[in-house]
Amino acid sequence: MDSPKTPQHPGPGAPVAAGPASARFLAGRKALVTGAASGIGRACAEGFAAAGAEVYVVDRAAEAAEEVAGAIGGIAVVADLSEAEAVDALPGDADIVVNNAGLQHIAPVHEFPPDLFTLIQRVMVEAPFRILRRTLPHMYAGAWGRVVNISSVHGLRASAYKSAYVTAKHALEGLSKVVALEGAAHGVTSNCLNPGYVRTPLVERQIADQARAHGIPAADVLDQVFLERTAIKRLIEPVEVAEAALWLCTAHSAHLTGSSIPLDGGWTAH
C-alpha cells in the first residue's frame, strides 16, 4: 500500500524502465543477494540476472523468494539472517555479495526495546560479516570479487528515533572499509551505497510509526520526514539503487573501493 501523498508514478527525472544491463557481462559469475524477495533486493536480483549472473535469492519469505528466483532463473535460498547457523549455511561460492537485508523500528532511545536493538544488529551487521567471512576465500581464490553493501544515508547521518538502524548502518560502513583494505590485493572491491528513502515495503511500513514519533498526521510524513532534507523531492526507485550496484561490478569501477556513494537526492549536501 503506497504512503499518503506518494505519487503512483515516478516524478520528473525518474527512470521509466528497469533495464539494468544490456550486455551479459556477468555471465559465469554468481551473485548472492540478501533480502532479495522485494524492494531493493529484488531489483538487484533482477538486474544481476539480466547481466548474466546466477543469483542466489536469499530471503526468509519462502514463497516470495521462490517467485523471484523462478522469474529470473535464480536459486531461492530461504534463511532467517538473525540465526547464525542459517547464515553460516548460505552458499560460499558467490563472486558478488549484495548485503541488503534489513529491518527497522522507530522509538526514542529510552523506550527502544533492547531485544529489537540486538536483532537489528544481528541481521544488519553480524550477518554481513558472517556472509563475507564465508565468501571471501572463494573470491580470493578467483582473484575477483565485488561486495556491495546497501547501506543508507543513515550510515553517514543520524535521525532521531532510529538508534538501532543508524548504529547498524554505521557499523556496516566500517566493515565495508575493512574488507576493501583486505581484499584489494586479491582483486576484491567493497563499497557502500547510501540511498535516502526508497519506495520499498520497509519505508511504507514506517509511516504510522513516524507519524506517532513526530506527532504529525500520517499524510504529512512524506513531505515533513522522508523528503524534508532532500533537494530532489521524490522517493528513490529500487531500480536506481540496483543500477548503481550493478555499475560497481563493471570494469569501469575496478579502482573504486572503500567508498560510500550517496544516492540521497542531495541530503548530505547540507
Residue 140 is among the residues annotated as catalytic for this protein = no
C-beta separation of 81 from 103 below 8 A: no
C-beta separation of 246 from 21 below 8 A: yes
C-beta separation of 61 from 32 below 8 A: no
Q: Is 55 left (phi over 0), alpha (psi -120 to 50) or beta?
A: beta
Distance CA 267, CA 212 (A): 23
In the chain, the DSSP E strands lie at 30-34, 54-59, 75-78, 96-99, 145-150, 188-195, 260-263
Q: Which amino acid is at 119?
A: L
Catalytic residue among 56, 140, 161, 165: 165
The cell 504512503 sits on which residue?
3
In sequence order, the β-bridge partners of residue 30 are 54
Grid cell for residue 117: 536493538
Dihedrals φ, ψ of 185, to 5°?
A: -70, -10
Burial class (CB in 10 A: 0-12, 13-18, 19+), 101: buried
Q: Active-site residue numbers?
A: 165
